[in-house]
Every structure is written in structure tokens, then in C-alpha cells.
Structure 1
Amino acid sequence: MTGQLFLQYHDSLNFFRTGGPIMVPLMLISLAMWALIIERLFHFRRLLQNNQPIDALWTAVCSNRGQAPSLTGLNGLLLDTFLRRRSGHLQLDHYIVDEIVLSLNRSLNSYLAIIGVLAAIAPLLGLLGTVTGMMNTFNVMALFGTGNIKGMASGISEALITTQTGLVIAIPGLYMKSFLDRRAHNARHQVAAAGYYLRNHLKEYKEYDPC
């Protein structure tokens, strides 16, 4: 078992070295992109998995609980923030609800653009590696002609490995970006509906006495 792990490690290291210097930024991009993807996946799971129905919001407002411990998920976060910021003035509380909705929407979109940029950069770096690899191949041919097969193969390997690595990073990255965009879109609809529900109930009282 240990021998197999060592061989796999050696093969991976050899693959990384064969790809040339472009492999270093490609690996850094991959690590950063997947760190952000995993963070977003856990963030959306925490907000959406146990999200409470919006009709529970007004009951929690009437109970006047500062932390709203019975509510979880995205609606619970909305309510908890509102209860901590509420002023007791009807019109001002309308603005507070709107500001909370906008703030939550911004947080739902966090890092998604960065993930898309990193996924788009990866194949471009792979293309750069292709260019440098072919340049190394032509340099060998200029010095030794076609007789140095090993030198030519090294440059071609660098070109192909960097291209392959860039695509391997970009394809799942773009898929996950699209998946996270859909999750964020659904979450924005939910928080907008919850904010609209809360504002409408506040409007029912000319004098702001919610319960």
C-alpha cells in the first residue's frame, strides 16, 4: 500500500515537473477556486437546508424575541437581523427591511464572480503553457535539428500537459459556477419574498404596534 502511494506521488510530481513553470499558477488557481466553491456550498447549505416558511416570520416578530431562536436558515437570518435593528417607527422599519434584503442579496453573490474569473483564467494559462512548450520544442530543433527526440518530446509534453491541466480546472469550475449561480438565484427569490411578506405585515398597522 505504501509503495503504491509512493509511486502515485512520484508520478504526480513527475507530471507536475513535466508541465513546466506554468503548472505553479495553474495549481494555485485551482486551490483558490475550489476553496471558494466549497465555502459557497456550505454557505448555501446552511442558509437553505433548514429554511423556515415565511409565515413564521410575523409570529416571531410578535413574540418580540431578540434572537428568534426557533427560526433557522435564510429567513431566520433575515428576522434575526431585523429584530436587532428595528426602530419601532413604521416607515423607518420599512427601510430597514429593504436594506437587510439588499445586504443579504449581496452576501449571496459573494465570491461567485471570482470563481468565474479563476475558471476562465485556467485555460488561458494552459494556452500560455502550450506556447512556451512549443517554443522550447522549436529551440531544440534550431540547435540540434530533428535528431534530439528527447528534447523535442519534452517541449511537446509541456505544451500538452498545461493545456490539459487548464481544461481540467476550467470545465468543473465553470459547471460549479453555474450551479452556485442557480442556488444564489433561488436564495435571492426567497429572501425577497420574505422581505415583501414582512413589509406588508408592517403596513397593516397605521400606528406601529406590531402585535
Structure 2
Amino acid sequence: MKDWMNLVDAVQLGGWVIYPLSLLAIVAIAIVVDRSYVFARFARRPGANLSAPVTADASPGAIVEAFDSLPAEHVFRRLSEPLERQPSVPFWYREAKTEVIASAIERDMSRGFWVLETIVTAAPLLGLLGTIVGMMHSFQLFGASGLVNPGGVTGGVAQSLVATAVGLVVALFSLFAFNYFSRRLERLMDELEAFANERLSGVRLASETGGDTP
């Protein structure tokens, strides 16, 4: 309890800069929670029972049936729509539609990334601003005749150090989160590309062998 009270006192020393830094921290945490849920629910890799239909010899409609157990907004289910074999749909349209859906998926899954990237830059700058304000307050306590209030000087220095520390903590948290989700999105897009290429190759092969008329 004492340690918690010391933490609260230290935050109070940071001055007004702590308030925007706290807001940035709350926004960063909200984005991390939201993206964690989205990636866990809508971007998980299909299990072994769903990987079987993803072959060149899949029957018409098998792709949609295989992904019925996934949420409607699941990325693999969204991408499977133009990959279902339909004799009336030409191959070039399926290929173009797949690229459009893949771009939309990447945009949807990266929602909020720019905010995390902005916080990575803004939080240290706000902390630096708090440092400057605290040091200015400390130097103002020096009079023409020398040091006037030693306690006030040390309080201003403490304020500047707390603001800097909080800014760095918020920036580091946002940086790690941004890098983690960026890497996860990159792996997801690689998986989607491999999935789409495999299905499009199967459709092309069936078309060339007369099994499907694009």
C-alpha cells in the first residue's frame, strides 16, 4: 500500500503533462485490447479439418462449406468467397476480386496502427515538454541573491524526471505493441497469399483440363 501511495505521489509530481500522457496510455491500451481480440477471433489459422478442402481437387462449394464454422468476418472466410468454383465467373475476375478483398483485409486488420505509431513519437515529446517545464520552474526559484527555495528546486527537478519517465514508459509500451501487431499482420498476409495462390492454381488447372469453365 505504501509503494502504491508513493507511486501516486510521484505521478502527482509530474504536473499537467501527466494528464495527456495518461490519455495516450489509455488509448494505447484500448487499441491493444481491441486488436488482440480481432486477431484472436477473426485471424486465427483454420484447423486441420478446414485445411483439407483447400486443394486443387476440391468440389464446387466445398470452400464455403468448410468455413461455415468460422465467423462471417473471418479473414479466410472472406477471402474464400471469390475462390469458390463457379462456371459463370471468369478466372481474371476471381483473381482481381481476391486482390481487392486482400487489400480490404489488410486495411481492416491494421486499424489503429497509425495511432500507436503516433503515440510512440508523441509520448516522449510530451515527457520532454514536462522536463523543460519542470526545469524552468526550478530555475525561476533562483533569485539575484542566490538560491531562495531548495525544496522548490528539487520539486521541479522531480517533476521533470517523472514526466520523462512516464513518457518513455508509454512510448515503449506502444512501440512493442505496434511491432508485435505489425509482424503478426505480415504473417497473416503471407498465409492469405499462400491460401489464395493455392486455390487460384487449382481453379486454373481445372479450367485448362476442362473440369471447370471460367
More helix by share: 1
How many residues in Structure 1 have an aligned counterpart in Structure 2? 203
Unaligned segments of structure 2, at least 5 residues: none
Q: 1:115: how far off?
A: 0.8
Contact 1:101 1:195 in 2 (8 A): no
Partner of 2:68: 69
Contact 1:67 1:83 in 2 (8 A): no
Partner of 1:19: 14
Q: Which moved more, 1:56-65 or 1:122-131?
A: 56-65
Q: Which amino acid aligns with 2:22?
A: M
**Pair 1:42 & 2:37 matched:** yes
Q: 1:186: how far off?
A: 0.4
Partner of 1:153: 154
Unaligned segments of structure 1, at least 5 residues: none
Large movers: runs of 4+ above 6 Å: none
- Looking at structure 2, the residues matched to 34 and 144 of structure 1 have their Cα atoms a distance apart, in angstroms, of 49
Paired-residue identity, %: 21
Q: Which amino acid aligns with 1:14?
A: D
Normalising by structure 2, what TM-score? 0.79
Report the aligned-residue RMSD.
3.0
Partner of 1:30: 25
> What's the secondary structure of 2:147's corresponding residue?
coil
Q: Which moved more, 1:11-20 or 1:110-119?
A: 11-20
* TM-superposition CA deviations, 1:122-145 (whole Å, max 9, x none): 111111110000000011113784
> What's the secondary structure of 2:33's corresponding residue?
helix
Normalising by structure 1, what TM-score? 0.80
* TM-superposition CA deviations, 1:68-120 (whole Å, max 9, x none): 414575423422x4479x89411322221221122112223222232122122
- Looking at structure 2, the residues matched to 67 and 143 of structure 1 have their Cα atoms a distance apart, in angstroms, of 81
